[in-house]
Amino acid sequence: MTWTTFLTILSVIDFVLVAAAIVVILRRQDEPRSMLAWILTLLLLPVLGLILFMMAGELRIERTRQKLRKHRKRLQPLLTQTIEKLESDHGQRGSKHSAKPLIEIATRLSGHLPTTGNDVAIYHEDEENFVAIMEAIEAAEHQVHLEYYIFQPDETGKSLRDLLIRKVKEGVKVRLLVDYIGCWNWPRSFRRSFLEGGIELSLFDPVVPWRGRWRVNLRNHRKIVIVDGKVGFTGSQNIGDEYRGRLAKFGPWRDTHMRIEGPAVHHLQEIFVEDWHYATRQKLVSSECFPDVQADGDQTVQVIASGPDSHARTMHHLLLSSVSGSQESVSIITPYFAPDTTMIVALQSAAYRGLRVQLLIPSFSNHWLTLWAGRSFYEELIESGVEIYEYHEALLHSKVVIIDDSWGMVGSANMDQRSFRINLEVTTVLYNDQLALNLRQDFDRLLIKAERIKPRSFKDCSFRDSMVLGFARLVSPLL
């Protein structure tokens, strides 16, 4: 076979596959910009465009959910009762915010009802949170479930691994689910140590091209720990030295995490069980996973799972509804700010309505392109009245939203396209004045050490900065 013949055959195959991929894109009926971008990529980058589409073009996870939600039908009448109680409590305290619209939309989107009777502790210091997780695992009697995007094979990761292995020897069942891409740097010896120690380990959505698994973009970004089905941890902190501020490369690191006791832990467990089933095909529905949980506090919590396994863009809708329904103020902490047009308009509209809208973003990042993409939106946001601050003291990794100083959200989702559309995330909504005050006070402490960004236009930037801003904004839909 001559080279001419070979190239002709290759071109024909590429043409057929590109045509098939374009048909898939047109039938998917996604956002027009995304559809057009992929079609141009396929047409302008022969072969390479196909490889990229196979690796990152799919934006959905299809999975059969276990029948975990039968009990929700029995709980449905409690939704009205919960809303009435919250409105009554807020009304007695003189709050202008009604929780009803958000609870209704969050329940429709997530399928999880808000639960009362929870006790929530919020951690703003990473070491404090890590110690609390270790102590809870130390006290485990039956099982420990962990789900992380990143679990580093460093001193922090090894110390947690060693504790988990010791608990296995004590008769505790330990299951660990980590994201394949997030933990790509694991040495074989580190992975083998979990298995040899008796820990049930699974990798979420591994990339195995020879088995037809090309997908790299749909990642499990959740951070969840459940101990004995009664104590849960969730928020934004991964496992690793860097997330405890121990690496000179990044310096101090700051996350917001939570410890939950009460009925909301069952919803965290549901999320883990469904993700574990997707990764392993093992069903964990049992009384051991879902023991009777007593009401340990007086706080109302709603756990919301979002990701490409849902037809609705849950996190996107939740944020848009929260900002649009705000009546006094919107305060947001996000480490990665690369919003879409609708999110920008929602923030601008809130500011135009006379609300105080504040964004707190780190001044340096481990993902510099996302940092500059966010900065490309500063000018138009500031012109509408949005206050933007950059924090210098640490790498700010928290994901926090505070609305009207009366309720808040803490979770794993960033304000970017990945969290809106293609990452599996978990967010906890806290319908409690005291917890909202806790988040507000921490926000204000951070503002003291942050710099407010002043209005400036592209013409005031250096040529280099303007080019970086323009390029970052161009690729922001892909970040």
Burial class (CB in 10 A: 0-12, 13-18, 19+), 358: buried
Residue 286 is inside which H or E element, if any? none
Cβ–Cβ under 8 Å, residues 410 and 122: yes
Burial class (CB in 10 A: 0-12, 13-18, 19+), 59: middle
Helix (H, G, I), strand (E, B) or coil at 315: helix
Q: What is the rounded CA–CA span in Å between residue 433 and residue 413?
A: 22
Between CA 217 and CA 229, with CA 223 as vertex, the angle to 5 degrees is 130
Between CA 159 and CA 276, with CA 161 as vertex, the angle to 5 degrees is 145
Helix (H, G, I), strand (E, B) or coil at 379: helix
Catalytic residue among 397, 405, 416, 442: 397
Helix (H, G, I), strand (E, B) or coil at 69: coil
370's tokens: 């996302």
Catalytic residue among 126, 228, 255, 416: 228
Catalytic residue among 126, 179, 205, 404: 404
Per the annotation, the verdict on 124 as an active-site residue is no
Catalytic residue among 124, 145, 316, 399: 399
Per the annotation, the verdict on 367 as an active-site residue is no
Catalytic residue among 221, 257, 277, 316: 221
Per the annotation, the verdict on 397 as an active-site residue is yes
Per the annotation, the verdict on 73 as an active-site residue is no
139's tokens: 């006290």
Q: What is the rounded CA–CA span in Å between residue 28 and residue 34?
A: 11
Per the annotation, the verdict on 283 as an active-site residue is no
**CA-wise closest residue to 317 among 31, 108, 63, 97:** 108
Catalytic residue among 124, 145, 223, 230: 223
Per the annotation, the verdict on 179 as an active-site residue is no
**Which residues in 48-180 belong to E strands, given as ranges?**
115-123, 143-148, 173-179
**The length of the chain, given as a count of residues:** 479
The residues that are catalytic are 221, 223, 228, 397, 399, 404
